[in-house]
Amino acid sequence: MPTGSAEAARGSASLDTVTASTTSPATAEHTTYGSLWRRVPRELGFLVLTMPIAIIGLSVLASLFWTGIGTVVIYVGFFIVVAAFYVARAFGTVELTRLDWAGSAPVPRPVWEAADRPRTFWRMLFGPWANGHYWLYLLHGMIINPIVSVISWSITITWTAGALGGLTGWIWLGFIPSGNRDFFLSRVLADSIFGIHSTFDPVAGDRVLYLIFGVIFAVTLPFVTRGLTLLHHAIAHGLLGAWRSEALQREVADLSAQRGAAVAAEDQSLRRLERDLHDGPQQRLIRLQMDIASAERKLAHDPEAAASLLAEARKQAGDTLEELRALSRGFAPPILQDRGLLAAVESLAARSTIPTVVESSVQPAERFSPEVERNAYYVLAELSANLAKHSGATAARLVLDRSVDEAGRQWLSVWLTDNGNGGATVVTGHGLSGLTERVHGLRGELTVDSPVGGPTRIGARLPLG
């Protein structure tokens, strides 16, 4: 929905298109027979390699672990067991990577080391003993995975060979000499089912029977490979995945960081408001007070000078009012509360000294929560102010986009792009740093793409709901 002059529209045509960093709504994938067959090649590759990798892992891990346990009395075994922990971690990581390649749902990885702790030699040496994930990976590599892999590999090979052999038996069965063969499976089944002595050609009967078996094995192969892959995925999720307590700890840490960012952003906004009030309206009000006092002194003996001073005072009062209105628009302008975010952004673009157009996928009457609208407007107001002061641009574009990511979460993205000089960076204590903290405090993301020479693209994603 463009806003602005024709000149602005022509200027903005030279700007690169802004694409919000969100995806279209994710559609639920329906499990159909065809989709199961599309998974078969990868799942077969995963299952066929499972037992060889598991046996190699068992051999290496068992050798290292029991050698280490046996020699721990002479201290060298301690280091061998630590090596077994890290080797078990490597084999577990290979298993998770193979499951990802097979198309299974991603298993959340454990947190091996705290990000706020330095990685030292002693921590690497003693850490695995106290980390339960290393013991679970060792259990998976030495006991669970070898047992399950032998079973799943045997079923996979049997089912695949049965499907291929049955479907192609009519080709190669004729080349196998029967000699004095007197056992034919088709005749045995027919006699046992019907209770009579069959007289059909048993060689042809076996070919037909094998073909039937091959069709059955081939038709059910996708279900078998899918079930066995899900079995490995469930075991990996339970033994190799992250614990829910770790996710809760990360969530608490993120919330603490976001809370701190929100407090810092609010403090910076208040300090900026205080500075703007001191440098602008407060100074004008002091001058207004002085002009009125001078007019009072001259009112009796010099009415013309008093009238001139009062006229100047009236002008000062008007300028002060405009500055106060401009400050209030930077936080929550009346149009934002009355008509919504899109109308407020269009008003912001109309007041910009740089020709600016607005593009939006948001409907004119669509409203969001007051917190989201206020902060989205604040971000764009700050970016517009920086645009006028520092960009050197001749055209700009404001973009609003509402979208849904693959996890079903709704986002509101606001972007500003211009054809200016570029070089915008996030510097502590400056405007973009404050915006980053404010957006992070809302659990959103701020993206700055501003190479030297331009163009500049700066945008924020804010969660809805």
Contacts of 107 (CB under 8 A, 6+ apart): 96, 99, 233, 236, 237, 240, 241
Q: What is the CATH number of domain 6-24+333-463?
A: 3.30.565.10
How far is C-alpha 389 from the chain's CA centre?
34
Q: Which helix (H) or strand (E) holds 265?
A: helix 244-279
CA distance 167 to 155: 18
The residue written with tokens 């003993």 in the block is 129
> And the tokens for 67?
């050698």
For the chain, residues classed under CATH 3.30.565.10 are 6-24+333-463
For the chain, residues classed under CATH 1.20.5 are 257-329
Which of 224-238, 309-323, 414-428 shows the highest mean pLDDT? 224-238
Note the pLDDT tens digit of each residue in 370-404.
878 888 888 888 888 777 777 777 888 888 888 88
Query: Using 50, 70 and 90 to split pLDDT, how confident is the model at 143?
Result: very high
Percent of the chain with pLDDT over 70: 72
Note the pLDDT tens digit of each residue in 172-212.
776 777 666 666 666 666 666 666 666 666 667 777 778 88
Does the structure show a pLDDT above 90 at 228?
A: yes
Mean pLDDT value across residues 348-363? 84
Mean pLDDT value across residues 313-328? 67
Instruction: Please give the pLDDT value at position 180.
Output: 67
pTM for this entry: 0.55
Q: Which CATH architecture fits 257-329?
A: Up-down Bundle (1.20)
Helix axes of 202-239 and 132-139: crossing angle, nearest 10 degrees: 170
Q: Which of 25-29, 68-72, 219-223, 303-307 has the lowest mean pLDDT?
A: 25-29
Instruction: Please give the pLDDT value at position 43.
Output: 94
